[in-house]
Amino acid sequence: MKAYVFPGQGAQYVGMGKELYEGYEEAKSLFEKANDILGFRITDLMFEGTDEDLKQTKVTQPSIFLHSVIMAKVLDGRFEPDMVAGHSLGEFSALVAARALDFEDGLKLVYARALAMQEACEIERSTMAAVLGMDDEVVVDILNNINEIVVPANFNTVGQLVISGSMKGVEVAMKKLTEAGARRVVPLNVGGAFHSPLMEPARIKLQEAIKNTQFHHPVVPIYQNVTAEPTMEPDEIKDNLNKQLTAPVRWTQSVQNMLRDEASEFIEVGPGKVLQGLIKKIDRKIPTRSAM
């Protein structure tokens, strides 16, 4: 059974999507439609911009979404998933690819999400860090005993968990985790504390946008970040999306559950190969590849 997976923030690169735009009329049409919807030429930033341009959350998120969704569209008959999942932002790409969301509605939600997250980051300085070489349960236990805002944000793969919170909270956590035996604790160059309580202002704004968007039954199950379990119910999908910004991304558990449900191959749709690397660390025997 084929599991199609969609990357999140961090997979962007200058030039992303240009080959799709130049090689497929359908892709060109969708990119131009996106320019109209957003009110600026995001394609100029994707194809010819700078790394700094693409690091802006309001640019990064719609760029990765467009690259992933348009790639799935041009695959057409070759896009035959039995299940789908997306990492954080990638969940929106997965929902559009699985026809739970229309292209236009998906893009509008992603842009609303990006703007809301960027605004939330400006309210209070916050950050994230990657913890390497320590069991998830040990990391979570240490975080639970810190009297500052710091939480598990991304369960990325075996031995890699990203933490998120206030500057003070992450600083204290990094020290305690290092002392407790983590192989490495690496601060991340991010705009704020994604998937933490500090994203609550963004969650409230996005909740209203989700409420006013029509969702359909997807054509295949989607394994959502909040639960790591499959669903095809629109109301459940919306509820999980409402929780996503302040809840951890359970990617390790999602991949393990797809394997439990007989996924035999993972195909990454979008820029980069980040998810393939994470999946290989969960199960080295499982075949992984890029969609194009």
Per-residue pLDDT for 234 more than 90? yes
Residue 100 is given by DSSP the state: S
Residue 88 known to be catalytic: yes
- Residues 50-92 have pLDDT tens digits of 998 888 889 999 999 999 999 999 998 899 999 999 999 999 9
- Residues 130-147 have pLDDT tens digits of 999 999 999 999 999 999
Q: Nearest to residue 210, comparing CAs of 169, 244, 168?
A: 244
The partner residues of 223 in beta bridges, in order of sequence, read 85, 230
> Which structure tokens are listed for 145?
């005993």
> Which structure tokens are listed for 249?
């991304």
pLDDT of residue 77: 84
Domain ranges of the chain: 2-122+197-290, 126-187
Residue 149 is given by DSSP the state: S
Residue 164 known to be catalytic: no
Ramachandran class of 133: left when φ > 0, alpha when ψ lies in -120 to 50, beta otherwise: left
CATH (residue range 2-122+197-290): 3.40.366.10
Asked if CATH classification 3.30.70.250 holds for the domain at 126-187, the reply, yes or no, is: yes
Q: Of 63, 68, 88, 196, which is the active-site residue?
A: 88
pLDDT of residue 275: 98
pLDDT of residue 191: 83
Q: Of 63, 87, 195, 254, which is the active-site residue?
A: 195
Per-residue pLDDT for 7 more than 90? yes
Q: How far apart are CA 244 and CA 120, in angstroms?
A: 15
